[in-house]
């Protein structure tokens, strides 16, 4: 009985380690050569997130977006593995709704 439990725990550890190793070494998506999944503008994006944030998140999460429009204020930045920095905060009217994308 003890041997089966030890074998089961060992198998789980090996599978977990293999999965973590696979995900860690998975190549990143090349954004420069990727075609956008959605082409939209700031106003439409803000209206979608304002109407139903969960549905908009499910639609756009993990996708490449090409968003046109004016950036209101830069609130945060992200440095990529290519040493490029991406920052964005969009605002339709100052002080109302906004979207922050990193």
Q: Between 42-51 and 53-60, two packed helices, what is the crossing angle to 10 degrees?
A: 130
Point out which residues pair with 87 in neighbouring strands.
Answer: 77
Contact 87, 77 (CB under 8 A): yes
> What pTM, to 2 d.p., does this model score?
0.47
Give the model's confidence band at 102: pLDDT under 50 very low, under 70 low, under 90 confident, else very high.
very low
Tens digit of each residue's pLDDT (9 = 90 or more) over 19-41: 999 988 988 777 778 788 889 88
């Amino acid at each position: 009985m003890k041997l089966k439990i030890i074998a089961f725990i060992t198998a789980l550890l090996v599978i977990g380690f293999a999965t973590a190793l696979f995900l860690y070494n998975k190549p990143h998506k090349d954004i420069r050569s990727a075609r956008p999944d959605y082409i939209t503008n700031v106003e439409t994006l803000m209206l979608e997130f304002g109407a139903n944030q969960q549905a908009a998140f499910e639609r756009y999460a993990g996708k490449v977006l090409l968003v046109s429009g004016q950036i209101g204020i830069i609130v945060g930045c992200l440095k990529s593995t290519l040493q490029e920095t991406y920052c964005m905060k969009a605002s339709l009217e100052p002080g109302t709704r906004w979207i922050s994308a990193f």
